[in-house]
Amino acid sequence: MVNKRARLIYNPTSGREEMKRRLPDILQKLDQAGIEASCHATTGEGDATLAAAEAVERGYDMIIAAGGDGTLYEVINGLAEKPNLPPLGILPLGTTNDFARAMGIPRHWEYACDLIIQQYTRPIDVGKANNRYFINIAGGGSLTELTYDVPSKLKTMIGQLAYYMKGLEKMTRLRPTQLSFEAAGVGGFDGEFMLFLICNSNSVGGFEKLAPDSKVDDGLFDVILLKKCNLAEFIRLATMALRGEHLNDSHFIHFRTSELKVTTPDYVQINLDGEYGGRLPFTFSVLPSHLQIFTDETGISTYR
């Protein structure tokens, strides 16, 4: 028996509202293993951040975030600044669960609970973006704006399809942006770019081949810059990226760094883990091994 206290922060609207149906089963399963969980149901944007900060202050042995990447992002933002962080469990019950996928955390609530019960943790890097935090990906450029353009209701109804529909609509609006990058240990890049991605994990928008070698615990971001191109080239490059064959193409710049400064003379919005994060300029830095996550010992993806 584990004999610990957990704070379960869940978004009742995530995914297809699965948490509303599963909550009694989840609490019972944790309880049988000796984890006594008290609950906080989030009420809207930003609430999970406040709930996570409060849970640390109240001294819980662990925090469990149940929902999608949006909920996880908010929880991370409540935790990151705190000293003596408890470990974090993830129940990936959202429409998009990119980070859980990268960590090999199962989609099924019962298997995901098993990982929390086993109590095996792994340290992960957290990305700092000005005064915000992310664990999966940060990005900018016209294409990256699509993830927060899709209304939440639409996502609940048709799930992943909503992203692709919005993505296709956005393609016709693709335009390059003037950007300057200054990367620690690498150097500077100036020019017109379609988008830039700062990856902490290898799971980006459900595609695991975009930054195939990115690791959550190497103390580094994998940065991918896509230079200016036309729509036909973009479609060709996107197809290559889906197959993981893009990084040798001259339109891409790929490097690893622990700190990246990005500036622009234009108005450029930043996306942090799929949510709107603010506008440039930004400094992105790695907080190495900042947070312990419950996962399986092998680290081999069992997301299903």
Closest CB 101 distance from ligand ATP, rounded Å: 12
Closest CB 162 distance from ligand ATP, rounded Å: 9
Q: x/- contact string, 88-107, with ligand ATP (CB under 6 A)? A: ------xxx-----------
Interface pick for ligand ATP out of 13, 200, 214, 257 (rule CB under 6 A): 13
The C-alpha atoms of residue 244 and residue 232 are separated, in whole angstroms, by 19
Closest CB 292 distance from ligand ATP, rounded Å: 21
Segment interacting with ligand ATP (CB under 6 A) among 8-16, 125-133, 135-143, 282-290: 8-16
Which stretches of 101-170 are assigned E, i.e. beta strand?
Answer: 121-129, 132-134, 137-141
Which DSSP helix (H) or strand (E) runs through 181?
strand 177-183
Q: DSSP code of 147?
A: G
Q: How many residues bind ligand ATP (CB under 6 A)?
A: 22
Segment interacting with ligand ATP (CB under 6 A) among 66-74, 83-91, 192-200, 276-284: 66-74
Answer yes or no: 17 catalytic. no
Segment interacting with ligand ATP (CB under 6 A) among 9-17, 79-87, 109-117, 282-290: 9-17
User: Which residues fall within 8 angstroms of residue 139, CB to CB, at 6 or more apart?
Assistant: 195, 196, 197, 198, 270, 271
Closest CB 145 distance from ligand ATP, rounded Å: 14
Closest CA to 17 of 163, 155, 146: 155
The C-alpha atoms of residue 69 and residue 117 are separated, in whole angstroms, by 22
Interface pick for ligand ATP out of 6, 8, 9, 11 (rule CB under 6 A): 11
Beta bridge partners of 64: 8, 89
User: Which residues fall within 8 angstroms of residue 114, CB to CB, at 6 or more apart?
Assistant: 106
* 14 near ligand ATP, rule: CB under 6 A: yes
Do strands 221-227 and 132-134 pair parallel, antiparallel, or not at all (unpaired)? unpaired
Q: Which residues bind ligand ATP (CB under 6 A)?
A: 11-15, 42-45, 47, 67-71, 74, 94-96, 152, 155, 274
